[in-house]
Amino acid sequence: EDQVTQSPEALRLQEGESSSLNCSYTVSGLRGLFWYRQDPGKGPEFLFTLYSAGEEKEKERLKATLTKKESFLHITAPKPEDSATYLCAVQAGAGNMLTFGGGTRLMVKP
Amino acid sequence: NAGVTQTPKFQVLKTGQSMTLQCAQDMNHEYMSWYRQDPGMGLRLIHYSVGAGITDQGEVPNGYNVSRSTTEDFPLRLLSAAPSQTSVYFCASSRVSNTEAFFGQGTRLTVV
């Protein structure tokens, strides 16, 4: 059974204080790892897809990296508008299912 | 661009009632799916479709039915609502299954 665990569950940062969110996974045959951002009362919004270990992608203050066991979402000099819940999901094997982690709620104080 | 549109946004049902949650996308995506999101449980896949006429079960399919008669629409039916189905429901679509998914704004359902 595919498992995805995100840590920490919640993270409070001061504006400008860089940090990382972790997504560890146990799957057989990873086909893709996805990062989403979700604001309160909204649907998840796509950020990145990573397909193989060693891959990295960047978007503004966010950088996602992937190893064979985990992915990190690095946030550099965050701003209050980066406050949201960040979700990680994996797709593995021959099926079409996405398995989501529980999310990390990020709060950035000005 | 409308993207993925879900209706209604809010719904209150009595136990035993039936209803259909609507989902439509205008991006000509083949893959569509329904999730429920509960506190502490994350997003869980209910049903999905890889194209018109083809549907399959996800992780938590019991109590829900789907059909896919067109590429654009993927309705979710609750046959006999139960309090355990109180949740926020999201519909998503993607070009193929392992590419970025676009989510609707969600339907908040309460079963009393």
pLDDT by residue (tens digit) across B21-32? 999 999 999 999
Residues in chain A closer than 8 A to B102 (CB atoms)? 46
Asked if A108 and A37 touch (Cβ cutoff 8 Å), the reply is no
Looking at every residue in chain B, the average pLDDT score rounds to 94
Residue carrying structure tokens 């940090």: A19
Q: CA-CA distance, B63 to B84, in Å (whole number)?
A: 10
Higher model confidence: residue A66 or residue A3? A66
- Min Cα separation B41/chain A (Å): 6
By CA distance, what is A34's nearest residue in B?
B100
pLDDT, one tens digit per residue, over B46-85 is 999 999 999 999 989 999 999 999 999 999 999 999 999 9
Q: Of A32, A41, A46, which is closest to B98 when you measure between CB atoms?
A: A32
The answer to whether the CB atoms of A87 and B43 lie below 8 A apart is yes
> Of B92, B52, B45, B97, whose CA–CA distance to A95 is shortest?
B97
User: With bands split at pLDDT 50, 70 and 90, how would you rate the model's confidence at B1?
Assistant: low
Contacts of A2 (CB under 8 A, 6+ apart): A25, A26, A27, A28, A90, A92, A93, A97, A99
pLDDT, residue A97, reads 79
| Alpha helix (H) residue ranges in B1-112 | none
pLDDT, residue A28, reads 84
